[in-house]
Chain A
Amino acid sequence: MTVKQLSSSGQFNILCMPEPEREIDGVYIGDLLSWVMGKAEADNVWITIMSNINVIAVASLSDVSCVLLAEDVTLESDVLNTAKEKGINILSTPLSAYEAALKVSGMI
């Protein structure tokens, strides 16, 4: 499944999607950035409630296919702009991380 397909499921809001064709292969949930860098795998959907600028760098370096902000977490506009520039897909959802992971898992 691609990020575009995930985003068109109606479950998730698109905050930005500069790389819609990125493939999704698994999920990683975490808010501690070094844990994410140590454990998330390339092409994972990264579900988090962190929203500061460093999230964009971590997403980029970890090669995750998409950041999914749980619990209706929002992004400052400068963070969003950086995400667009760096080619990082960002979706959001009112669901909890657990519920969001179940939804993604049911679709891959």
Chain B
Amino acid sequence: MSEVLNFHFHVDGDDFTSAGQASIQIKKNLRRLGLDPEIIRRVSIAMYEGEINMVIHAHGGEADVNVYEDFIEIILKDTGPGIENIEKAMQEGFSTAADQIRSLGFGAGMGLPNMRRYTDDMKIESTVGVGTTVTMRVNL
């Protein structure tokens, strides 16, 4: 594991119109690196789900994408309310999203399951009242 390439983004909370900018930028960056389109698709969807979660549930946060020789690591860190029951949150269909969020098409409770589906490894560390850090890995 020689060089690691890092991309860092500040994810603005409560701004729906620009939500997803970090993921879309990452998609461009990974394309420029010439990675396989299906890998890029998995990384950028998983990151977008995490990015949107930070906007909807945690007033924004920080996103880091590290490109190693044989895997890509995505780290999403927020200082939001935290997740009380991670196991429950991971279940398809579980959501605490407000009605206004649901009217935009979010809140199906499929974000975290998608993040797990599209990555090779996923870890959630969360403390109520402190924040949440999601670390995902996609093998190259």
Contacts and interface: CB of A to CB of B under 8 A. Distances in A.
A54 B45 contact: no
B41 A42 contact: yes
Contact of B104 (A38, A54, A61, A63): A54
Given A53-B17, A61-B41, A63-B37, A38 B113 contact: yes
B74 interface: no
B19 A57 contact: yes
B20 interface: yes
A49 to B, nearest CB: 10
A37 interface: yes
B24 A34 contact: no
B97 to A, nearest CB: 10
Interface residues of A, number: 20
Contacts of B48: 37, 57-58, 61
A86 B20 CA distance: 12
Contacts of B41: 42, 61-63
Question: Could you say which interface size class chain B belongs to?
Answer: 20 to 34
B114 interface: yes
Interface in A41-67: 42, 50, 52-55, 57-58, 60-63
A61 B23 contact: yes
Contacts of A32: 105-108, 110
B25 to A, nearest CB: 11
A55 B106 CA distance: 11
Contact of A54 (B19, B108, B114): B19
Nearest to B92: A38
Which of A33, A58, A63 has the largest number of chain B CB atoms within 10 A? Answer: A33
Interface of A: 31-35, 37-38, 42, 50, 52-55, 57-58, 60-63, 86
Interface of B: 16-17, 19-20, 23-24, 27, 37-38, 41, 44-45, 48-49, 52, 104-111, 113-114, 117
25 contacts: A32-B106, A32-B107, A32-B108, A32-B110, A34-B106, A34-B111, A35-B110, A37-B48, A37-B49, A38-B113, A38-B117, A42-B41, A50-B104, A52-B104, A54-B104, A54-B105, A57-B19, A57-B20, A57-B48, A58-B48, A61-B24, A61-B44, A61-B45, A61-B48, A63-B41
